[in-house]
Amino acid sequence: MSFLGIDLGTGSLKLAIIDDEGREQCSTSIAYAIDTPHPGWAEIDPLIWWRALCEAAARFPDAQRSAVRAIGFSGQMHGVVLSDAHGNAVRPAMLWPDTRALSLLDAWPAPQPNPVAPGMAGPLLRWVALHEPQSILAARWAMQPKDWVRLKLGGAIASDPSDACATALAEPSGAWDRALLDRLGLPGEWFAPLAPSYAAGGTLSDEAAQALGLPAGVLLATGAGDTPCAALGSGLTGDGDALLTTGTGGQILVLATDEPDAVPGLHRYRAATDHWYRMAAMQNVGVALEAVRGWLSYEWQHAYRDAFESDVSPGLTFLPYLTGERTPWLNPAARGGWLGLALGTSRGAMMRAAFEGVAFSLRAGLDSIRQSGARVSALRLAGGGSVDPRWRQLLANALQVELHAVDCPNAAARGAALLGGIAAGHWHAGDLAALAPAATRVAGPQGDAQLAARYARFIDLYGRVEPWFAQLSR
């Protein structure tokens, strides 16, 4: 008996199969590209997700696929798929890095229970309502990405609180804000009924089973957003447990038994289980590092080598805000770049400054969490962008925390698979602590005073250039 987790990410789809004791048996992933037909847009044809899912499943041995008894879902948060009654997308899916709705955020005046970004479903759907009446007429459902995948597999029309609460269209609890939907002119019937992330959400259809090589009738769990799934898969089960994920973006979250207080710049969302979590969400981690690597014409191994073996250029600062920023600045107009370049500045120094800039942006988010009252001295570490030991040490020094690498390379997919096992009745919520993967201390803060001084300059520099960003956005 085994359970399959599907993690629908921004740049790739990952699959993981775990056994009846929660141990990963096999995994695979398929990468894909975001489409940017206009500046600031971020879209993808959902059928690309479907083809990636079929291709990824085909890589598993037949014996592994035939043993699957339930499937759970993890999905990139905030974006939206508009579909007809049969689940066919009426336009490309709109994703969280999309900034086309930047000028429409006046519909969410401060204060809000959670920060609102232009790439959330609410602003994006408001944009569609104003600019694409044909899409509005053709649409029956406005779904979160993982909910579209579940429907494609034959599952129920449903969403869960962990995803719904991050749309800017729901209460922090996840319940749809019907008054807000009416005020925005969005049909309330577009939004699926809510179910717990671990609830059964239909069964695998014959057609989908054939496409994936899985047994027909396999139970489908409702699923959750990728961040709460990563927390679950990484072993966060109790109040105060904390996690750092580094992928395209970065998140630092701290689990809470009760609903956290509202704090400007921080999110307070529902977890995949019955917990809450407070979260700092930083948009520019892997996306910024990948952009810099490309600009400097590096292969990744050489980028790490030159960045961490070259002398640090103390006067060079990189602001990584290529797609705006959420925590702590709440500034979608923020932009990035180097300051302090000289004729003799090397590629390695520029790459090192980029790594430090990303680490400093994560530190600014963690500082917000600490200022909210949470004590964070250690973080579990997950995400494909956090493997190199030199990068881990820089993160530990910048964040002033111990880092404990989770023995689970596919945390979100594993969390999704665990939800499948709970939906099937194999596990219960009380079993999750015992299923937590091992974590190894991989780095601790070394008291780097020079790095601390560069962080202080980074914060000062952002404050000085922020007014300029506002002028650029006009």
Higher pLDDT, 458 or 251: 458
CA distance 91 to 259: 36
pLDDT band at 111 (very low <50, low <70, confident <90, very high): confident
Q: Do domains 2-227 and 235-407+444-474 have the same CATH topology?
A: yes
Each residue's pLDDT tens digit, 171-186: 998 999 999 999 999 9
CB 134 within 8 A of CB 211: no
**Which pLDDT score, from 0 to 100, does residue 474 have?**
57
Is the bond into 37 cis (omega within 30 degrees of 0)? Answer: no
Whether 128 shows a pLDDT value over 60: the answer reads yes
Confidence (pTM): 0.85
Find the length of the chain: 474
108 or 385, which is more confident: 108
What pLDDT is stored for residue 265 in this prediction?
85
The confidence score (pLDDT) of residue 383 equals 63
pLDDT tens for 339-366 read 999 999 999 999 999 999 999 999 999 9
Indicate the pLDDT class of residue 448, thresholds 50, 70 and 90: very high
Q: Are 337 and 319 in contact (CB under 8 A)?
A: yes
pLDDT band at 430 (very low <50, low <70, confident <90, very high): confident
Please compute the mean of the pLDDT values over residues 367-376 and round it to a whole number.
90
pLDDT for residue 247: 82
**Which residues, at least 6 apart from 384, have a Cβ–Cβ distance to it below 8 Å?**
246, 247, 286, 409
Residue with tokens 């600014």: 364
What is the CB neighbour count within 10 angstroms for residue 12? 16
Domains of the chain: which residue ranges?
2-227, 235-407+444-474
- The most confident of the ranges 40-44, 108-112, 466-470 is 40-44
Instruction: Band the pLDDT of 384: cuts 50, 70, 90.
Output: low
Q: Class of the 235-407+444-474 domain? A: alpha beta
- Can you say how many angstroms the Cα of residue 383 is from the centroid of all Cα atoms in its chain? 10
pLDDT tens profile 268-289: 999 988 889 999 999 899 999 9
26: exposed, middle or buried (C-beta count within 10 Å: 0-12, 13-18, 19+)? middle
Task: Give the torsion sign (CA, 95, 96, 100, 106).
Answer: positive
Distances (CA, A) of 124 to 1, 61, 118, 121, 372: 41, 40, 7, 5, 30
| 427 three-state secondary structure | coil
Is-contact 422 428, C-beta < 8 A?
yes
pLDDT at 88: 96
pLDDT attached to residue 310: 85
Question: What integer pLDDT is reported at residue 473 of this predicted model?
Answer: 59
pLDDT for the residue numbered 105: 93
pLDDT of residue 248: 83
Instruction: Look at residue 472 in the predicted model and tell me its pLDDT.
Output: 66
Q: What is the pLDDT of residue 458?
A: 97
* φ and ψ of 153, to 5 deg: -85, 0
Q: Once rounded to an integer, what is the mean pLDDT over residues 408-416?
A: 91
> What pLDDT is attached to residue 352?
97
Percent of the chain with pLDDT over 90: 77
pLDDT band at 249 (very low <50, low <70, confident <90, very high): confident
Output the average pLDDT for the chain.
Answer: 93
d(CA 188, CA 167): 14
Q: In the predicted model, what is the mean pLDDT of residues 292-300?
A: 97
Look up tokens 């009745």; give the residue: 425
Mean pLDDT of 251-262: 89
Q: What's the CA gap between 16 and 25, in Å, rounded?
A: 7
263 pLDDT above the threshold of 90: no
Mean pLDDT calculated for residue range 460-468: 93
| Sheet bearing 378-382, strands edge to edge | 267-270, 276-282, 250-256, 242-246, 378-382, 402-406, 439-443
> What per-residue confidence (pLDDT) applies to 385?
62
pLDDT, one tens digit per residue, over 26-81 is: 999 999 999 999 998 999 999 999 999 999 999 999 999 999 999 999 999 999 99
CATH number of 2-227: 3.30.420.40
- Cα–Cα dist 115/461, whole Å: 23
**402-406 and 378-382: which strand pairing?**
parallel
